[in-house]
């Protein structure tokens, strides 16, 4: 090799390409936090409820550095690939995701407008657990009702489109009835800073029942009690059964009290409503579950979470100064509720009515020497009383009546008036009898009212075509 060639070779070696290492640093870790989420009314506002739970997610700790190796470039030409199939797949999947999202949103909004199924209750057969489960599952259906200077309670029964239907006592809206410019308001459980305006759909002063309509947004959960097994006019219970009353006690917010059924069916004398003088007698059941001031219109639930009554009355001692506590002392462990056998047909009649006071099939009950009482049915032109637990026709006011004095009514439709529990116990439920009769009226479209009657040794079925089943 000559001198010049050696020089050229040395230059070539000095200009050779030497690869260099590459090092980089990964992004720093971050922390993500996700939040799931009839009394005077001058009370202090309560603090809003705290969030149910906070769930924290922490990113895993990774390497702080990324080490690179040597980079090398080959001299072969770069190959080009056709990616159209990949983009088509991505486009199709994107469209499908958007469609699923839209359908899910529409279905969710529709379900919210219809209301949601009430929570199921796992009782496990232990009373303490039952009480806790019932309170947890049902307290969200109890609302606070404010009308003028009075506060009371109500039960959110169902969602009807953009509105919720609320059941309460008629006396809870007494100031509205006296002056319709005094509009009632409702506050839902958990919404401590907001009372919503309501419309009064109707009321019945005799049975002390009113129904309200409240505009609600889609975000408010309203359980469909009406239409589920939580609500039935035929719900059964016996004396000694455990129950829970839930309402706006003393206008201090929704609270619950447990107790038992003290007496399944009895007659209670109380004042007429809305300025009407005199007394009235109504069918009720008695309970030791507290029904304090402010709990009127709240619910009484059994251990399966079924609504069995509307908390309406509490007893006060009026015996005078010779009795401990004086004349104004409330009687402990003695509250009265209107059973669902009566509440349900009145509630349904109000829903189908045109507002204001509703007209019902008149059923008058009164106390007599009988332990059960008497039942007057003017629309049937008869009056009955219980004799030895038998509902017996006492008076007939129309000579054309299909019934006669001395007839014993054994059934109203399919309902058995007197029930034999065992050889030693016979029971007749005056609440059940009243409720059965209230299911019929002249505008009803169902089957006609039938009475099964025992006349001596003969059993008769008497039909009243003018009165038809209406619920």
Q: Are residues 381 and 418 in the same domain?
A: yes
Question: What pLDDT, in 10s, does the model give residues 203-252?
Answer: 999 999 999 999 988 888 899 999 899 999 999 999 999 999 999 998 89
Q: Are residues 254 and 201 in the same domain?
A: yes
Q: Are residues 211 and 176 in the same domain?
A: yes
Q: Which residues of the chain have pLDDT under 70?
A: 1-82, 104-114, 122-125, 316-330, 354
CA distances from 212 to 49, 95, 207, 291, 326 (A): 26, 44, 16, 21, 37
User: How many CB atoms are closer than 10 A to CB 169?
Assistant: 27
CA gap 243, 226 in Å, rounded: 20
- Is the model's pTM score more than 0.75? no
Q: Are residues 380 and 254 in the same domain?
A: no
**Residue 89, domain member (yes or no):** no
- The enclosing domain of 221 has a CATH number of 2.40.10.120
- The enclosing domain of 403 has a CATH number of 2.30.42
**Residue 13, domain member (yes or no):** no
Q: Are residues 313 and 367 in the same domain?
A: no
Q: Are residues 310 and 369 in the same domain?
A: no
Give the pLDDT score at 73.
34
SS3 16: coil
**Residue 461, domain member (yes or no):** yes
Give the pLDDT score at 329.
62
Counting the structural domains of the chain, the total is 2
Question: What pLDDT, in 10s, does the model give residues 285-313?
Answer: 999 999 988 999 999 999 999 999 999 99
Give the pLDDT score at 9.
52
**Residue 265, domain member (yes or no):** yes
**Residue 116, domain member (yes or no):** no
Q: Which of 291, 315, 346 is the last residue of a domain?
A: 346
Which residue in 230, 186, 236 sits closest to 212, CA to CA?
Answer: 186
Q: Are residues 307 and 373 in the same domain?
A: no
Contacts 24+ apart (CB under 8 A), 446-450: 446/470, 447/413, 449/412, 449/413, 450/411, 450/412, 450/413
**Residue 321, domain member (yes or no):** yes
Q: Which of 323, 346, 369 is the last residue of a domain?
A: 346
Give the pLDDT score at 400.
84
Residue 428 phi, psi (nearest 5): -130, 120
CA gap 269, 267 in Å, rounded: 7
Question: What pLDDT, in 10s, does the model give residues 52-82?
Answer: 443 333 333 444 433 333 233 334 444 445 6
Helix runs in 121-173, H state only: 127-138
Q: Which of 312, 346, 380 is the last residue of a domain?
A: 346
Cβ atoms of 312 and 291 within 8 Å: the answer is yes
Q: Are residues 437 and 318 in the same domain?
A: no
CA gap 56, 193 in Å, rounded: 28
**Residue 328, domain member (yes or no):** yes
Cβ atoms of 126 and 230 within 8 Å: the answer is no
Cβ atoms of 442 and 398 within 8 Å: the answer is no
Q: Are residues 182 and 154 in the same domain?
A: yes
Q: Are residues 385 and 339 in the same domain?
A: no
Give the pLDDT score at 88.
84
Domain range enclosing 402: 361-469
Give the pLDDT score at 286.
95
Q: Are residues 190 and 222 in the same domain?
A: yes
Q: Are residues 135 and 210 in the same domain?
A: yes
Q: In this structure, what DSSP letter does residue 218 have?
A: T
In DSSP notation, 382-403 reads: EEEEEETTEEEEEEE--TT-S-
In DSSP notation, 315-342 reads: EE--S-TTSTT-TTPEEEEEEEEEEHHH
| Spacing of C-alpha 262 from chain mean position | 24
**Residue 371, domain member (yes or no):** yes
């Amino acid at each position: 090799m000559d001198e010049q060639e050696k020089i050229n070779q040395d230059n070539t070696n000095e200009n050779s390409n030497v690869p260099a290492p590459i090092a980089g640093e990964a992004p720093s870790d971050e922390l993500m936090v996700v939040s799931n989420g009839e009394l005077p009314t001058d009370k202090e506002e309560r603090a809003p409820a705290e969030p149910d739970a906070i769930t924290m997610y922490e990113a895993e700790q990774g390497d702080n550095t990324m080490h690179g190796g040597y980079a090398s470039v080959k001299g072969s030409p770069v190959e080009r690939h056709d990616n159209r199939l990949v983009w088509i797949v991505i486009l199709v999947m994107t469209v499908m995701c958007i469609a699923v999202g839209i359908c899910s949103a529409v279905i969710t909004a529709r379900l919210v407008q219809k209301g949601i199924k009430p929570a199921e209750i796992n009782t496990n057969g232990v009373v303490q657990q039952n009480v806790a489960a019932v309170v947890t599952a049902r307290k969200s259906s109890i609302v606070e009702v404010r009308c003028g200077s009075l506060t009371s309670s109500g039960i959110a029964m169902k969602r009807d489109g953009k509105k919720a239907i609320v059941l309460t006592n008629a006396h809870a809206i007494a100031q509205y009835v006296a002056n319709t410019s005094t509009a009632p308001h409702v506050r839902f459980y958990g919404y401590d800073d907001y009372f919503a305006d309501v419309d009064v759909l109707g009321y019945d002063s005799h049975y002390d029942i009113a129904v309200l309509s409240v505009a609600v947004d889609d975000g408010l959960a309203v359980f469909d009690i009406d239409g589920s097994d939580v609500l039935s006019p035929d719900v059964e219970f016996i004396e000694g059964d455990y129950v829970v009353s839930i309402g706006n006690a003393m206008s201090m917010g929704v609270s619950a009290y447990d107790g038992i059924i003290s007496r399944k069916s009895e007659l209670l004398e109380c004042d007429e409503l809305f300025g009407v003088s005199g007394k009235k007698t109504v069918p009720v059941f008695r309970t030791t579950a507290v029904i304090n001031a402010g709990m009127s219109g709240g619910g009484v639930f059994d251990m399966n979470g079924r609504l069995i009554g509307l908390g309406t009355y509490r007893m006060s001692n009026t015996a005078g100064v010779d009795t401990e506590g004086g004349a104004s002392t409330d009687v402990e462990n003695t509250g009265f509720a209107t059973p669902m056998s009566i509440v349900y047909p009145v509630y349904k009649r109000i829903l189908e009515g045109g507002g204001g006071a509703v007209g019902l099939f008149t059923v008058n009950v009164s106390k007599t020497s009988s332990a059960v009482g008497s039942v007057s049915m003017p629309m049937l032109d008869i009056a009955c009383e219980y004799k030895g637990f038998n509902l017996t026709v006492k008076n007939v006011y129309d000579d054309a009546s299909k019934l006669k004095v001395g007839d014993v009514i054994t059934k109203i439709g399919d309902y058995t008036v007197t029930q034999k529990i065992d050889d030693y116990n016979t029971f007749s439920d005056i609440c059940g009898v009243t409720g059965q009769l209230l299911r019929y009226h002249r505008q009803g479209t169902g089957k006609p009212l039938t009475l099964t009657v025992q006349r001596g040794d003969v059993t008769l079925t008497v039909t009243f075509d003018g009165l038809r089943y209406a619920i």
